[in-house]
Structure 1
Amino acid sequence: MDGMAAVDSHGDGDLVSPGELLGDSLDLIAGRGAYVAPNGRSVRASLTGTQRVTPPQPGAPDQRSTVEVVGHRAQGAVPQPGSVVIARVTKVMARMASVDIMCVESKAVKEKFTGIIRQQDVRATEIDKVDMHLSFHPGDIVRALVLSLGDARAYYLSTAKNELGVVSAQSIAGGNMVPISWTEMQCPLTGQVEHRKVAKTA
């Protein structure tokens, strides 16, 4: 009789990728390489690496286990022009979106790096018709290419290739949306369709 059922959707040591569901915040604390999604419940991976679940200390006030995702290298990564980053959208404006860079290639960053996706860098075609609010929403997880270090220590990022763009997004209802086209994602809970600049996954 083991009596200790796993509360997360992965086992200790499993390889996970950015945006992948690790478990519920009622059961797990998000440690390094993990974050709580905007719905406040889903704990997800912020980088590619190995999942590690640490049980709580006996007598600790919070009796949830801590889940971490350990990247392939321990040192903090630094964005460089030409590298691909995973970032979380923090703010969307008329001509740009601000993001917090979470990992470079598959390595986690240890300090805060800010990125900006400008209107002209969202996609490769019909650049003048890009609507930032129909491309990204706050809380979206995006895959982007670093173009350069821009103003005020913010990196200029691009999502203008097919494989770049939104890789994980929460709907208003709290569902993890599914891509249905290059420009749309659908909530599996309500069927509601929302516009995004979707990254090609296959």
Structure 2
Amino acid sequence: MSLPDLAYPGLPLGPSSSYIPGPGTHLHLESSTIHASIAGRPTFTPPTAKGSKPTLSIPRLLPSPTHAPIPSSNVSNTNTLPTVGSVVLCRVTRVKSKQVDVVILVVYGAEGKFGRGGEGSVCADEWQAVIRKEDIRATEKEKVVTAEGFRVGDVVRGVVISLGDQSNYYLTTGRNELGVIMAKSEAGNKMYPISWKEFKDPVTGETERRKVAKPF
């Protein structure tokens, strides 16, 4: 099968019957499908031995505290600016009672054709943004508890609804296809969604509440 030009965390890349998961990917146990763990351009390494399978991997594109950034055509030279209506992927950095702080990692066009051939730009810098309590869900907003929708480290799909102030963009996850697309459990294991409000740890069997994004 052909690989997408740009993958986002959680995107299915191929069956484990055809590939071996490499750096930047992980195996979804329930579906036996290899998914992207980070944003970037997927590649595969041909098998080195007869009868073995090629390895799927995604090179890390963004700088981290302990690694120098790796140049890539996926990273914008001028840094991509989110605009109102842009679909974005972001990482949760702090959960407060009235808002969730995130950093934007990938910006897509307003049509939001992510994962279906649409092109996204990995940000050279991380843009600060917030998801206010009233923008988490479209209904029963008064019942929303931010800590039951997000945890630090979650990867979230959202839409920019306002350029906000000088410090933050404002995002919404108030649609079915928006919300957490990748999360780790308190035990540190990658989880998979089992409903619109829960992820499950395949190792411990424990479930955790999230504002889950509807899969494609």
TM-score normalised over the length of structure 1: 0.71
- Written as runs of structure 1 = structure 2, the 5 A alignment for 1:26-105 is 44-47=37-40, 49-51=41-43, 67-68=59-60, 74-75=76-77, 76-105=79-108
Match of 1:158 among 165, 168, 172: 172
Match of 2:137, SS state, is: coil
Task: Give the Cα–Cα distance (whole angstroms) in 2 for the partners of residues 131 and 153 of structure 1.
Answer: 24
Alpha-carbon displacement from aligned partner over 1:18-63 (angstroms, at most 9, x marks no partner): 2249967xxx6x8xxx9xxxxxxxx93225x34488xxxxxxxxxx
The offset of 1:174, in angstroms, is 1.9
Match of 2:8 in 1: 18
TM-score normalised over the length of structure 2: 0.67
Flag the 1:198–1:45 CA change in 2: closer, same or farther, 3 A: same
Q: How many residues align?
A: 163
Match of 1:128, SS state, is: helix
Task: Give the Cα–Cα distance (whole angstroms) in 2 for the partners of residues 186 and 145 of structure 1.
Answer: 25
Flag the 1:152–1:173 CA change in 2: closer, same or farther, 3 A: same
Task: Give the Cα–Cα distance (whole angstroms) in 2 for the partners of residues 66 and 191 of structure 1.
Answer: 28
Task: Give the Cα–Cα distance (whole angstroms) in 2 for the partners of residues 86 and 150 of structure 1.
Answer: 17
Flag the 1:200–1:71 CA change in 2: closer, same or farther, 3 A: farther
Match of 2:157 among 135, 143, 150: 143
Task: Give the Cα–Cα distance (whole angstroms) in 2 for the partners of residues 71 and 96 of structure 1.
Answer: 34
Match of 2:111 in 1: none
Task: Give the Cα–Cα distance (whole angstroms) in 1 for the partners of residues 182 and 198 of structure 2.
Answer: 12
* Aligned partner letter, 2:37: R
The offset of 1:151, in angstroms, is 2.5
Task: Give the Cα–Cα distance (whole angstroms) in 2 for the partners of residues 98 and 71 of structure 1.
Answer: 28
Q: Is residue 126 of structure 1 aligned with residue 129 of structure 2?
A: no
The offset of 1:91, in angstroms, is 0.1
* Aligned partner letter, 1:136: F
Task: Give the Cα–Cα distance (whole angstroms) in 1 for the partners of residues 58 and 160 of structure 2.
Answer: 32
Contact 2:74/2:122 (8 A) holds in 1? no
Contact 2:199/2:208 (8 A) holds in 1? yes
- In structure 1, list runs of 5 or more residues that go unmatched: 1-12, 35-42, 54-64
* Aligned partner letter, 1:89: V
Contact 1:71/1:107 (8 A) holds in 2? no
Q: Is residue 175 of structure 1 aligned with residue 189 of structure 2?
A: yes
Match of 1:191 in 2: 205
* Aligned partner letter, 2:38: A
Match of 1:200 in 2: 214
- In structure 2, list runs of 5 or more residues that go unmatched: 14-20, 26-35, 46-56, 62-71, 109-119
Match of 2:37, SS state, is: strand
The offset of 1:173, in angstroms, is 1.6
Please report the RMSD computed on the Cα atoms of aligned residues, expressed in angstroms: 2.9
Higher strand share: 1
